[in-house]
Amino acid sequence: MPEGKKAAVPAPKPVREEDLYSAKTHLHQPVPVQETATVSATAQLADAPEGALPSEVRPEIVTWEKLCEAIKASGRSYNMEMIEKAYDLANTAHKGVCRRSGEPYICHPLAVARLVLDLGMDSESIAAALLHDVVEDTPTTLDDLKAAFGEEVALLVDGVTKLTKIQFSNIEELQAENLRKMLLAMSRDVRVMIIKLCDRLHNMRTGDAWPEQKRRDKARETMEVYAPIANRLGILNVKEELEDRSLHYLDPVGYEEISRMLSEARELGVVEITVHTPGQQRQDLTEQLCARWSLRDVVLCPAQGGDGQTNQTLALAAIALRERLRARRVGIGWGHLIGQLVTWLEENPQPSSTVTDIFPLVGNASIPARNYQSNENVRLMAQQLGAAPHFLYLPALPESLEEKQLLCSTEVYRQIQDQWVQMDTALVNIGNYPSSPDFASLVRYGSLLQQQHTCGRLLVYYFNEAGTVIQSDQDFAIQIPLELLKQCPHIVGFCSANTSEKALRGALRSGIFTHIAARAELVKSLLGQ
């Protein structure tokens, strides 16, 4: 976001035809974002004394060299050609311009890019972070970015630019209309909101250079809009620092009093403040989980308010994983979180999604709840993602094994089988085994579920804490065969707010899942922490 520039902006260098290339020359799988990602201490603070609050410490100035070092140190693969080209364009466009604080303006997009990197985002996001102000503040156009970097980077920059232009006039709008607008603006690509949050975070870190009234206005806006969005996305470290810095500007006397009381308490030994690398604990949890159960990625979400809000966050985590996996042919299960995911997409359509085809992994239930209406969920998701829907016009639980065999011999079933074979991503809810089994499960399994100490379910399969999926010769459920499901490259299991530790443990031990989204507290309990 612009900050009162002191010099006119020169025109950027023309882009040569030979320099043009696609922004999709390299893709990688970043580490978890919405729920687990936090900002690195090296990017956040410079020379931080022990126990210092964020607003008490001067932020580090990020240079191109430091950004490159951080990229290398991340251990992840990035498209450095694209990132360097973005830096060159931004550096030229902002040349001769300084921020109010006195440093060259390019330091701001470099700092935003570093924050984006620390959140585990991809090459396109880092490039867009470097370029996020060039369309708004320089003669560079969106078409220039499309020509140089491709459609994806240009859309990210455009999204951030549009968010920046949203004006907040009063508290009512802050809490309602403009918050909705911002959420809708981010919905095309959640990376837009991530970049904007990093932009706002760095501006709040350097807000001392603003006039007093601007500091207060920005702090109020940050507290009422940006911090809640960071909380909804599960980026708690960013949310907390945004709130801390906002309070510092809104109530400096109260902030100083709190700071003084904490200092005195530390000296008296009443409290102990330990400085950790932000996000280290969650990173450790995800690394432990991945290493122990051979997972490729884990998204940890905070428990927020009631189960409903927590489930919303978990649904967003599933969406984030889908986006990072560049899912194209997606199979979906059923359950409460699938319903939450569909509801969120209805309010936040994503027509530019990578998804091309969506299909159910299980037939339709006879109960009216939409969470279990597979075809309806497929239809709605496909509509909001701009994908082609494929339906399974068969019940999940027919009357008998004989009826299942008859139904599975139809063309309808053969067509959905073709989709299952081509599937690259499966979204499956990990749930608990009910304390009182339903009639259908008793008919399908008899006493097997009780005998084998069933604790959880996925689709209409049941498993125990040892990870054994219970098999029955009388199972008449119509769903993707387990062996076919296991062939899918990416199987995302996500736990709802009430999923038990036993159910998650059994799901992990089954070896079925490649990716997990769950509450952080659930994982801590699972790992004995």
* DSSP secondary structure string for all residues of 94-122: TTT-B-TTSSBTTHHHHHHHHHHHHTT--
In three-state secondary structure terms, 62 is coil
**CB count in 10 Å sphere of residue 120:** 23
The angle subtended at Cα 153 by Cα 134 and Cα 359, nearest 5°, is 150
Spatial contact of 298 and 32, defined as CB atoms under 8 Å apart: yes
Spatial contact of 336 and 311, defined as CB atoms under 8 Å apart: yes
Q: Active-site positions? A: 136-137
* Dihedral angle of Cα 214, 217, 221, 227, to the nearest 10 degrees: 70
Spatial contact of 328 and 354, defined as CB atoms under 8 Å apart: yes
- Separate counts of helices (H) and strands (E) for the chain: 26, 9
Place of tokens 């994908």: 387
- For residue 465, the 8-state DSSP code is T
| Cα separation, 469 vs 461, whole angstroms | 7
| Cα separation, 1 vs 308, whole angstroms | 34
Reading the block at residue 304, the tokens are 């927020």
Half-sphere exposure of 162 (CA within 13 A, CB side): 19
Q: Which of 239, 362, 321, 276 is nearest to 490 (CA)?
A: 321
Spatial contact of 412 and 476, defined as CB atoms under 8 Å apart: no
Length of the chain: 529
Provide the β-strand partners of residue 494: 429, 517
